Every structure is written in structure tokens, then in C-alpha cells.
Amino acid sequence: MTKLVFTPYSLGSVELKNRIIMAPLTRMRAPNTIANELMATYYAQRASAGLIISEASQISPQGVGYPATPGIYSAEQVEGWKKVTSAVHAQGGKIFCQLWHVGRISHPDFHGGDAPVAPSAITPMGNAITPTGLQPFVQPRALATEDIAGIIETYRLAAQHALQAGFDGVEIHSANGYLLDQFLRDGTNHRTDNYGGVLANRVRLLLDVTEAVISVCGADKTAVRLSPSGTFNDMRDTNPDALFTYVLAELSAYKLAYVHIVDALESDIRHGAKVVELATLRAAYTGTLMVCGGYDYARAEQVLVAGLAELVAFGQLYIANPDLLERFRVKAELNKADPSSFYGGTAQGYTDYPALLN
């Protein structure tokens, strides 16, 4: 019997050949924030995935937090991304652009000495990765209520650029402790305006951004990523169950392409995460769910058969196995990813992982 992972899936106007998805993976190989030929080769190698989600791409200079990550706000960046999307399409693949604003997970060195922005002036524990190495995070500037309309508009423009660059849709990054996640959780959002306090207020920015992106892309080309159990980037919430079931109930109304859930990872458990169960999230959402986080072939098939998700994304396995789909099909051995070449560098540890038929 055909395994569910290999069966096609329709996101509305975007038809996926299979349910094996390449997760968004920052690789820091875009000098000057512009996507390039090397990146086009890397993504094209992975085009047999049902869908590729691009590495996170900053929507504005204010949204950057790491060296050599690509942007999606200038004409040059759009031209750079065209190389990637056309290479993926030439291989019969589909690719969404992940829209990113890091919020407080940045450093003044990226902003001419100005503080990064956040919902509230709460300094994260840990270090920023800056062009001159690791430096402690600083206290961010709390966004004024008047600043928020501008942020929403920046997302709308970025979505427009993503379509111009040839992407098949966009995924709004609201996970892993970046700006939109910072607004969702009460550990990072102490605001007293319409964007803080009760759940309806903390969720407001994500919904405003989602509506702005839908106005450009249409709902069936708009997706949202969430990490309900995530502790990465010093994140916490007093009641993530209540928060994320509320978020999912609200997002259900939009008939999005999908909502992407990052499951609790081992590192989250080690950091004392309050785990929100996938079954709870599934029950709270009426549309297409994608899951990610430590999946292998067997667990992916299980979660699809159980009806807990419709699509499964793979991160580290896709770094090391450009032909992950084919390897799953023939139950081949998998290459192991080398963490020392995850962030920054050259073609080594990027485009040189072997495919079975090389």
C-alpha cells in the first residue's frame, strides 16, 4: 500500500507532489543579504520535497539579527531570490518564502548603534551572533503603538516582493522567539496597549500581519509557523495551552495554506518547557497542519495515519540529504548532518552532501 507520506496534497492553488516538506533552515550564506547561485544550487538539489520552505528572510533592515541572512525587502534581493525560485521550479519543485523579523534577537551593531525593537524592553538571556562574533543581548526598545502599523505594512510589502521573486507562497515566522512570538507570550509582552495583556490583544499583531499578507497572496498561499512548546531565545509563557489553542482557533477562520507547528524538542524539555500536546493543537485547528521537530520516516507516517497532521517537515535530515524523498522511498541509509557547517561558510557542508545517484 502506498504510504501516506508519498501521496500528493493540495494546499488550494498549490499542488504538492508529496507530504515530505523541507523545513526552513537558516544557513547564513547570503553575503550582503542577497540570495545567490550557490543557494539556488542548494535549494534545487532538494526540489523533490513536496514543498520547500526557504530559510528565514528578513522583511526589513530592522528585522535582521544574524550575519549573511537573506532579505526580501529590496529590488536586488528580489532579483537574487529569482535565481532560487526558478532553479527550484525548473526541477518541478515548489517553494514558499519564510518572512522574518527577529525583534529583540538582534544587536545594535546591525542597526548603526540603535537598540533592536520588541514588544517590551525585556533583555533576553544569551548572546547575539554579530559580524564580529558573539555579544550579549542588549535591552530592546519597546515599540510605540504608533510604530505597529509600519511593521504590518513591512510584512505586506515583503509578501509582495516574495510573489515578485517567484515564490509559490509565504510562511509568516511566528515561532522560535522572534518578533511575532515575542508579542504572543506573556514572558516577553508586558504591553498595556491594544497589543498586550489579554489573549485577544497579544494575538492581535499576528492576526493583523496575517490579514496584510493574505491581502497580497490570498489565504491559500499564506501560512503561519508557531512553536507552542518552544523555549529557544529565552521564551516563556504562563499558559501556553490557553494561548496556542486560542491562536489556532483564531487562525482557523482564515483558511490558510497551512499552520506549521514545531513540536517540543529535546532542548525545550531540558529548558523546562510546558509542553503543548499535538493532539490539543490538532483539536483547536480546523485547517491543514504541518508538523516538524525530530521526525524520521516512521514517525512521519505515524503522525499522518493518526490524522494529527497532513504534512511533515524535516530540518536536519534535509541539510544532509538532498534526496531525502528518494532515500525514504528505497529505505536507504541517511547522511548525517555536520553542525560545524550549519551557519555560514562555503559550498562545503552545504551543496556537497551526496545524493544516492551521484
Ligand X SMILES: Cc1cc2nc3c(=O)[nH]c(=O)nc-3n(C[C@H](O)[C@H](O)[C@H](O)COP(=O)(O)O)c2cc1C
- Specify the residue, 25 or 223, whose C-beta has the smaller distance to ligand X: 25
Under rule CB under 6 A, residue 225 binds ligand X: yes
What are the helix and strand counts (H, E) for the chain?
12, 14
Cα radius of gyration (the chain) = 19
d(CA 35, CA 333): 31
Under rule CB under 6 A, residue 328 binds ligand X: no
d(CA 228, CA 282): 12
| Binding-residue pattern over the window 107 to 146 for ligand X, x denoting contact by CB under 6 A | ----------------------------------------
Under rule CB under 6 A, residue 344 binds ligand X: no
Amino acid code (one letter) for 260: H
Under rule CB under 6 A, residue 180 binds ligand X: no
Q: Of the ranges 21-29, 101-109, 142-150, 192-200, which one interacts with ligand X (CB under 6 A)? A: 21-29
| Binding-residue pattern over the window 25 to 54 for ligand X, x denoting contact by CB under 6 A | xx----------------------------
Among 214, 273, 292, 311, binds ligand X (CB under 6 A): 292
* Contact status, residue 34 vs residue 70, Cβ threshold 8 Å: yes
Under rule CB under 6 A, residue 230 binds ligand X: no
- Specify the residue, 196 or 293, whose C-beta has the smaller distance to ligand X: 293
Who's near 200: CB < 8 A, 6+ residues apart? Answer: none
For residue 92, CA distances in Å to 29, 88, 215, 323 come to 24, 7, 27, 14
Under rule CB under 6 A, residue 24 binds ligand X: yes
Under rule CB under 6 A, residue 323 binds ligand X: no
- Specify the residue, 166 or 294, whose C-beta has the smaller distance to ligand X: 294
How many other CB atoms sit within 10 Å of the CB of residue 129?
Answer: 17
Q: Of the ranges 102-110, 157-165, 278-286, 293-301, which one interacts with ligand X (CB under 6 A)? A: 293-301
d(CA 206, CA 173): 10
For residue 281, CA distances in Å to 53, 160, 289, 318 come to 21, 30, 9, 25
Least distance in Å: CB of 116 to ligand X? 17
- The pairing of strands 20-22 and 311-314 is parallel
With CB atoms as reference, the residue minimizing the distance to ligand X is 315
Per rule CB under 6 A, count of chain residues that contact ligand X: 21
Under rule CB under 6 A, residue 167 binds ligand X: no
DSSP single-letter state for residue 349: T
- Specify the residue, 13 or 267, whose C-beta has the smaller distance to ligand X: 267
Restricting to residues 298-317, name those near ligand X by CB under 6 A.
314-317
Under rule CB under 6 A, residue 287 binds ligand X: no
| Binding-residue pattern over the window 87 to 106 for ligand X, x denoting contact by CB under 6 A | -----------x--------
Nine-digit cell string for 171: 510562511
Who's near 151: CB < 8 A, 6+ residues apart? Answer: 101, 143, 179, 205, 209
Residue (of 130, 141, 154, 163) closest to 60 by Cα position: 154
Binding site for ligand X (CB under 6 A): 23-26, 55-56, 98, 173, 175-176, 225, 262, 292-295, 314-317, 342
